[in-house]
Structure 1
Amino acid sequence: MPTTLKRATELYVHAKNLSAGTRAEYLVTLRKWGRWSGRTPIERLSRAHIREFLDHMHEQAVAEGGRNPGRTANKVRENLRAVLSWAWEQDFIESLPQFPRPKPQRDVSGRHYLTKSELNALYFATYSMKSPKGWREAVPVGRYWRCALVLFFNYGFDTGTIWRVVPANEPILWRHVTWDALPTDGQAKERCRWGWIYYRRVKTGKAFYRPMNQAVHAHLKSIMPQQPDPNRPVLQGGGVRPNARFQELCRLARTQSKIDVETGEQRPWHLKDLRKTCATYYDAHMPESSIEILGHSVSGVTYKHYAHRDPLAFKAIMTIPQPASFMGLQHGFDGQCPCCRRVFQENS
């Protein structure tokens, strides 16, 4: 029997135990879908159906004099994507329909994440980074920072997980990286051809084994010594003030500063914003996956002790779309832009 969007939304809201305000938002989206005469069952929904509906929402908001019609359409898009992603996980539909791009919108509450174009600019700006005084590593400092950007984007690491900012931090060591198909803890059932990485969250101390996708694998291989010391940190070049070096990298990339909406003041980017960037793109790619990826604390006995969330994290990490610059290394474009083949000279 075909499943209507109304039925799927009701099941989703009940299964997720959402707050009253969030449930009201989904019901508003459902009423908009009904007024648009959206009678197509979710099994037959396509990109064309969704695009027509979102275009209608945008045009209606413009006609009604809405101050931010793009945000109105994008909110509906997020709700539809969350419901259909859940329906796909529950096998109500065989495949998740491809969604059109978000509409341009005015960020009412300010933007606290970096766009993919800005990530690309930061990645290529690492070629211009100067090595610190007394640098004796065989690998240029820019290569370490390129690897760090990839790790921040894919796992949302704390700064202390990448570099030992304070003595209490436990950074990733070479013994925490395994190239085997299964992690050494023996708990994960999934096999990953690219290997696994172990780390511990700074704030909660919770330990994780996460799979490496192709981008992470290629960048870790690019900085690995021929005979790595198991007790040596993987990443170098952070120094005692990694945020200061990151802000210098932002200046090299000519990245615009954040703007406080309330005061209008410009504020510099911090490494913590890369963690927010990770959460933003994971939730856009697979709703609610950032909770598990970033290791956020959750409430509820069932979730803490019985719910097995590793498959969701595995699927999200292995399928999240990467910025174009991150994909060049595994395709043989080290030191080149993967789209235009522009050559970047490594600074020594």
Structure 2
Amino acid sequence: MPVTFKSAVDRYVRANKLASNTREEYQTTLRKWRAWGGGVPIERLERRTIREFLDWVYDRAVADNGSNPGRTANKAREQLRAVVSWAWEHDLIDTLPRFPKPVPQRDVAGRHYLTKAEINALYFATYRLRRPRLWREPAPVGRYWRAALVVFFNYGFDAGTVWGSCSFHEPILWRHVIWDREAPDRNVKQHSHWGWLYYRRVKTSKAFYRPMNRVVHAHLRSLLPETVEPDAPVFLGGGTRPNDRFRKLCELAGVPPKADIETGLAKPWVLKDLRKTCATYHDENLPESSIEILGHSVGGITYRHYADRAPLAFKAISTLPQPSAFLSLVRGFDGQCPCCRRPFLDAS
């Protein structure tokens, strides 16, 4: 029985448990395929047919006054290729068709990650954060934000993983922090001198045990209350809208806005950009390690099911060079720059 593009998309989306926004993007490509008149089964796809479809997507984007029609066509190409490759891996089709090259697209110059100097400035600025209303914790709110910056930089967490701002989020609790050397997961053979951290991704609900390095260990220890309740959240001070507080922190740190990739206009930084920052520095330190650190889906049955990726994540987290401000607490100079010993309020 011929495999239609619609049935392949439906099975691909269900099998990979994609996020709602990603599923909608695939449905958009499917609607374009129908509007173009794509009735060709995917096992009979040829390079010429794929090129005709992508040319139609490009011309339609131009007719609709799209700001970047080349990127629109390349997005449809990536999604079509992902579905067809998945169908080939699962023996729904016998051969992979040849795909045409991507069409030229406009790439707007812009940096979408924070430099280490800017991260240092954000760390300095946490000492100037105002006490939230009804704040009753013995530790200042800036201490929680310093620890949050550290875990964002090292693990690329989602904001919901840290603060659990929505009801369906599973935030990090104190029972998720393991101080033992041995990993709770029996499949992980490595031993971490600084302990382990358990968390679950917001989008995919995948669970991970990650080693703590010296910097993460010191900052989580600084948050440890006198009486630990296992089901109490580790991080506080995010509020219902942590992105608003992060923008305020950027203002205090003097971090300029970023450039939008589509329009080139200035846009404020959001907490998701810390996830991109994590990926940038992990790949710079250990190429391709960000795929495992961030919990992204990977292609290829062999890589997904047989490759042992735990040592890669262990080495990446253990060897990641840290911003200089993160080392202050490790060296016993809380509130002082570890290089010049100036108070952070002066250094900022």
The answer (yes or no) to whether the contact 2:108–2:262 under 8 Å persists in 1 is no
**Could you say which residue in structure 2 is the equivalent of 1:45?**
none
Q: Deviations over 1:293-324 (max 9, x none)?
A: 00001122111211110001100100010000
Q: How far is 1:344 from its partner?
A: 3.5
**Could you say which residue in structure 2 is the equivalent of 1:154?**
154
Percent identity for Structure 1 against Structure 2: 65
Q: Distance in 2 between matches of 1:226 and 1:345?
A: 28
Q: Distance in 1 between matches of 2:131 and 2:247?
A: 15
The answer (yes or no) to whether the contact 2:108–2:263 under 8 Å persists in 1 is no
**Could you say which residue in structure 2 is the equivalent of 1:341?**
341
Q: How far is 1:227 from its partner?
A: 1.9
Q: Distance in 1 between matches of 2:125 and 2:155?
A: 22
Q: Helix, strand or coil for the counterpart of 2:210? A: strand
The answer (yes or no) to whether the contact 2:108–2:264 under 8 Å persists in 1 is no
More displaced 10-residue stretch of structure 1: 112-121 or 293-302: 293-302
Matched, 1:287 2:282: no
Give the greater-gyration-radius structure (CA): 2
Q: Helix, strand or coil for the counterpart of 1:199? A: strand
Q: Deviations over 1:16-38 (max 9, x none)?
A: xxxxxxxxxxxxxxxxxxxxxxx
Q: What 5-or-longer segments of structure 1 have no aligned partner?
A: 1-106
**Could you say which residue in structure 1 is the equivalent of 2:229?**
229
Q: How far is 1:262 from its partner?
A: 5.2
**Could you say which residue in structure 2 is the equivalent of 1:117?**
117
Q: Please show how residues 102-141 of structure 1 align to structure 2 within 5 Å.
A: 109-141=109-141
Give 4+ residue runs of structure 1 displaced > 4 Å after superposition.
Answer: none
Matched, 1:207 2:204: no
**Could you say which residue in structure 2 is the equivalent of 1:267?**
267
Q: Distance in 2 between matches of 1:188 and 1:271?
A: 30
Aligned amino acid, residue 306 of structure 1: Y
The answer (yes or no) to whether the contact 2:131–2:140 under 8 Å persists in 1 is yes
More displaced 10-residue stretch of structure 1: 176-185 or 111-120: 176-185
Q: How far is 1:187 from its partner?
A: 2.0
Q: How far is 1:330 from its partner?
A: 0.8
Q: Please show how residues 1-348 of structure 1 align to structure 2 within 5 Å.
A: 109-260=109-260, 263-344=263-344
Q: Distance in 2 between matches of 1:127 and 1:116?
A: 18
Q: How far is 1:129 from its partner?
A: 0.2
Query: Considering only aligned residues, what root-mean-square deviation do their CA atoms show, in Å?
Result: 1.4
Q: How far is 1:207 from its partner?
A: 0.4
Q: Distance in 2 between matches of 1:190 and 1:324?
A: 27
Q: How far is 1:266 from its partner?
A: 1.0
Q: How far is 1:166 from its partner?
A: 0.6
Aligned residues between the structures: 240
Q: Helix, strand or coil for the counterpart of 1:313? A: helix
Q: How far is 1:162 from its partner?
A: 0.1
Q: Distance in 1 between matches of 2:230 and 2:246?
A: 27
Q: How far is 1:191 from its partner?
A: 0.7
More displaced 10-residue stretch of structure 1: 316-325 or 223-232: 223-232
The answer (yes or no) to whether the contact 2:179–2:195 under 8 Å persists in 1 is yes
Q: Distance in 1 between matches of 2:302 and 2:176?
A: 30
Q: How far is 1:343 from its partner?
A: 1.3
Q: How far is 1:263 from its partner?
A: 3.1
**Could you say which residue in structure 2 is the equivalent of 1:30?**
none
Aligned amino acid, residue 119 of structure 1: I
Q: What 5-or-longer segments of structure 2 have no aligned partner?
A: 1-106
Q: How far is 1:264 from its partner?
A: 3.6
Aligned amino acid, residue 186 of structure 2: G
Q: Helix, strand or coil for the counterpart of 2:180? A: coil
Q: Deviations over 1:191-219 (max 9, x none)?
A: 11100000001011110000000000000
